[in-house]
Structure 1
């Protein structure tokens, strides 16, 4: 007699794989399911897959996009259905306790879909949030700006403007680049651009790019910042200038 024959009629022992993977069975159910696992390669594979996915979810959580819930709920009806009853089998009228157990199993039976969806989300977008300063990325190559921000020798200099907006320059000598980050900085006047400059050790200002017309931005400066002594921002005509035409509205002195 196989475990399929020993299982109570009207129950689906296969549906317990999700509950077993997250340790949601009582002692009696766990013992029975573990006996079934010895005879069912499909359930063993499913339990191993779910436990691996659950291990991924044990890391620090990242907020999923709002549309994930709708996609998961829309796919619930694709969860593997209960197998058909064998010919001649009957289903006894469940007691309240048995009915509640079956409802709980039905909810837990949805775990494979939920765990899989969350694992896919983590694989797609989670990696970027788990990288700490100095870590090497395990996915696609990070951008030059991200390398500066995560560099071991990154130095930050912040300036706050009278209207409450802020700009921060981050420089990494090892990367030889600088990045500017703005917080609620109002756009340049019509017909004008904010232009960035790198100051050389000789005191000259060299063009380092134009700021985007957005209040919050992260911009990698053009040019070599490995020996720069400062970063300036000026207001220039649209398209920028080869030399500053006005005094800087902000200057960030860098350590030599």
Structure 2
């Protein structure tokens, strides 16, 4: 089962922390109790939001939070770009910074600590275990024509932009696309958010077609399916994309921080450990 009982309990607890509405919570519990073997956490949150809208008229509004963290990282952009440009391997440095950006996740984190986030930039060196996957990533990009970045959170997408700048310098033959969420869900990035931070200056922005915090192939728009099917190299950011895409038989590189028990247990690492994974 892709959602173990511990995850189901966590998902329910997060909804209970938002409201004590008995009927609403009963429906949430029923959805979790009747989940299928192939359901993922992003899909369950998508269903929760449908129920939330029915009871409360609208989904939770994260627009102020999204702007706050986009603006925070935009204020750091010039200094981080200078640090990247002066690195021995600018692309490697930019990829580690982009992974740090995955911290800004209001779906997986109980709380976001600004100081903790900023402190993570004190160590932006790539670990040795990352370097083996990174070497494969470079080989794949060298032979590729179409590159797809599947984005995750606001704030994080500013760092994704810096990473894509370096990717295009290293591999100028690449046609780069960035897939974002098709509607507002948590603090995940949409096309409007991508344009706000200037991600459209380094990539063609494509909506996945749904307000879902993951990439569920059956729910993608035809345009997004075509892009996913025809990209030579795919880099998917965040736990939600990993949960919804892994084990599907695709060759995908994943980059994320392990922010919850499911991931720290699965990879046997401490909380907030960064992962760079290749799945073939």
TM-score computed with the length of structure 2 as normaliser? 0.20
Give 1 or 2: higher strand fraction.
Answer: 1
Q: Give 1 or 2 for the bigger CA radius of gyration.
A: 1
TM-score computed with the length of structure 1 as normaliser? 0.21
